[in-house]
Amino acid sequence: MILMASFSTRFRYAYHVVPLHALKQIGMGRCLLSKSQQQDGTRLRRSTTAGVDDSLGFNDYVHFYLPRLTFIEFSDLPILVAQLGESVVAPFPHAVIVVDTQDLNDEECTVCNFNIAVSRPGYGKVKGGNHARGTDPTTILRHWHGFRASNPPAERMRRSFWHDGLAVPVLAGTQITDRPRSVGFRTDMPELLIHSCYNFRPSDALYLFSNFDLASLRRMPDAPEARVGCSESSAWYAVQDRVDPSVRRRIEAYFEQSDVPFPDELNFDRVRPRPKRHQNEQQDPQTEVQEP
């Protein structure tokens, strides 16, 4: 068995982004659970992606961003840009769990070179690119079925493979070992997928993005160790407490009291328009720009 993931020299760190209040359950279990493994009443489902994961077969995986970096950096993580960036809509506090891929091995890893939530494969008369926000998951699934039926060559599949139960081609286990340079083919940020559950390792690190969030976390008994990270995308967020006071109080009450139910009424995945001066600076943070 390989001692570390064969892609770790190019993709050193993997990032899992969660809303702040999720850290209570995550810290108690010392693990990350896939959507299908989470219990009723404590499920975290992003309205923008959960339905797509279900339709395409990825709801039993823990998803990580896998940017092409060998140092820890947060500025390009799409969810942080969307949820902590400057906007007229109040942000929702988020945290990032950073995993050193040198402590993973290929056997436990699956890598997708597409953006599962939004990639639209090109086939026949369908142009490859991105699905619009809010596209029906059944439509997305239909396009992947059409792509597969077109018998695309390896380059169009981003050097990945079809697997039972998954509508999008991926690299898994020995396919990664045999073809490490295929990880990240035609994308700067593939997705790392861990099946069912990711158990924390000593090398994992937890980052928050303001001292206000850190103070909230420390209200929790036996709170996990965390540090405040800095990035261009969170600079506006960090200079003062931008979180709605009622949301802040609700999170802190949940942290402080052992018998308070999981606050599943909190909307942590709101669409937050960027200020006009930023609207032309980057693509929608939910999308990618490469054509499959």
Residue 281 has pLDDT above 50, yes or no: no
87-124 pLDDT per residue, tens? 999 999 999 999 999 999 999 999 999 999 999 999 99
- CB atoms under 10 Å from CB of 279, counted, come to 9
* pTM attached to this predicted model: 0.92
- Over residues 30-88, the pLDDT tens digits come to 999 998 888 655 567 676 676 899 999 999 999 999 999 999 999 889 899 999 999 99
Cα 12 to Cα 2: distance, rounded to the nearest angstrom: 15
Tokens matching residue 226? 């965390």
For the chain, give me the number of helices (H) and strands (E)?
8, 13
Is the dihedral angle over the CA atoms 121, 158, 188, 208 positive or is it negative?
A: positive
**Number of other CB atoms surrounding residue 136 within 10 Å:** 12
Confidence of residue 289 (pLDDT cuts 50, 70, 90): very low
Q: CA 206, 58, 131 angle in degrees (round to 5)?
A: 95
Q: Is 148 helix (H, G, I), strand (E, B) or coil?
A: helix
Q: Quick one: average pLDDT of 123-147?
A: 94
In contact, 184 and 66? CB cutoff 8 Å: yes
The Cα 50–Cα 60 span in angstroms is: 11
pLDDT in tens, 3-30: 799 999 999 999 999 999 999 999 989 9
- Can you say how many angstroms the Cα of residue 202 is from the centroid of all Cα atoms in its chain? 21
Contact predicate 106/174, CB 8 Å: yes
Q: Pick the closest to residue 201 from 68, 101, 64 (CA basis).
A: 101
